[in-house]
Amino acid sequence: MELDLAALRTFAAVIDEGTFEAAARTLHITPSAVSQRIKALEQQVGRVLVQRVKPARATDSGRVVLTLARQVAHLEQETMASLNPNTAQTSTLPLVVNADSLSTWMIPALARLAPEHRVLFDLHREDEYHSTALLREGTVMAAVTSVSEPVQGCTVETLGSMRYRALCSREFADHWFPDGPTAEALAVAPMLDFDRKDELQARFLRGFTRRRVHPPRHFVPGSSAFSDAVHYGLGWGLLPELHTGSDHGLVELDPARPIDVPLYWQRWKLESPLLTALTGAVREGAREALR
């Protein structure tokens, strides 16, 4: 079965733009032509690919085809760049990265790519335990993730581990932990979470207290803001060593109990010079920054 390239391109445009009408404007065709192409593609694969809602969403089968559509578009662009290097268009690489990697080692790693690659990055921020969902949906080409099981159609390799330490300001420790960070004190001392997916603090609590405790929580969804909240005494939380270094001026709740979060690089299983170069840059950056 040979899938029509124009239909694949149209399908990706519908998902990217959210409606058939917006996709038609992007592709400079009529909405009727968009509808006909999508209908023909669905008939060809024998599956419904698009949920006709606003914004349009890919079905489970549609996500598989969407990944193919994006891979074909990427290979088309790389082929044209190889044939016409002087007029090559800039490539866009959509990636998903966890917030702490994004705010520490990932940007310097991406900057290692040579200028001749002519690449733009479309960076998505997602929790390291949930980032593979964007790979499955075909939204991104690669991910920094804590999931070691490769997504279908992807390769995976170990990058290293990011070490976190439970920290608070000295004023916070004096107020909430006058006798040290006991289980009783941790049950009532305000805790910081990045968002409602953040399990690091809960993981530390389980290991430290050996019981279920439910302290009051602040939600601070930004790496720099989260670090500031710890320094200003809003609550205690786990900060990456890459953020704080050794001279951080904070109190560590339990120096013997750091948490190491393993990170992996998952990328499309695709023969792509650009993805290969990107993987090399990420691998080198991780080797220098992670444990």
Instruction: Look at 34-48, 68-82, 182-196, 268-282 and tell me which has the smallest mean pLDDT.
Output: 68-82
Percent of the chain with pLDDT strictly greater than 70? 97
> Is residue 113 domain-resident?
no
> Is residue 33 domain-resident?
yes
Average pLDDT over the chain, rounded to an integer: 90
pLDDT digits (tens, 9 = 90+) for 99-156: 999 999 999 999 988 777 778 899 999 887 788 888 888 889 999 999 999 998 899 9
CA nearest 106: which of 130, 142, 139? 142
> Is residue 175 domain-resident?
yes
* Helix 5-17, helix 31-45: angle, nearest 10: 110
CATH of the domain at 28: 1.10.10.10
User: How much is the pLDDT for 87?
Assistant: 62
User: How much is the pLDDT for 86?
Assistant: 66
* Contact residues for 256 (Cβ-Cβ < 8 A; gap 6+): none
User: How much is the pLDDT for 117?
Assistant: 78
Cα 58 → chain centroid? 20
Over residues 24-32, the mean pLDDT reads 91
Write down the pTM of the prediction.
0.81
> Is residue 135 domain-resident?
no
Last residue of a domain, one of 13, 35, 63: 63
User: How much is the pLDDT for 273?
Assistant: 85
CATH of the domain at 243: 3.40.190.10
Q: What range does the domain containing 199 cover? A: 162-262
**Which residues are registered as beta bridge partners of 237?**
167
Last residue of a domain, one of 19, 42, 63: 63
> Is residue 214 domain-resident?
yes
3-state secondary structure 38-67: HHHHHHHHCCCCEECCCCCEECHHHHHHHH
Last residue of a domain, one of 14, 42, 63: 63
User: How much is the pLDDT for 82?
Assistant: 72
> Is residue 125 domain-resident?
no
> Is residue 156 domain-resident?
no
What's the longest Cα–Cα distance across the chain?
Answer: 72
**Residue 158 predicted with pLDDT over 90:** yes
d(CA 42, CA 8): 11
d(CA 95, CA 36): 31
The sign of the dihedral angle between the CA atoms of 144, 147, 151, 155 is positive
Per-residue pLDDT band at 180 (split at 50, 70, 90): very high
User: How much is the pLDDT for 1?
Assistant: 64
pLDDT digits (tens, 9 = 90+) for 189-247: 999 999 988 999 999 999 999 888 899 999 999 899 999 999 999 999 999 998 776 66
> Is residue 283 domain-resident?
no
In the chain, the number of structural domains is 2
Higher per-residue confidence, 83 vs 268:
268
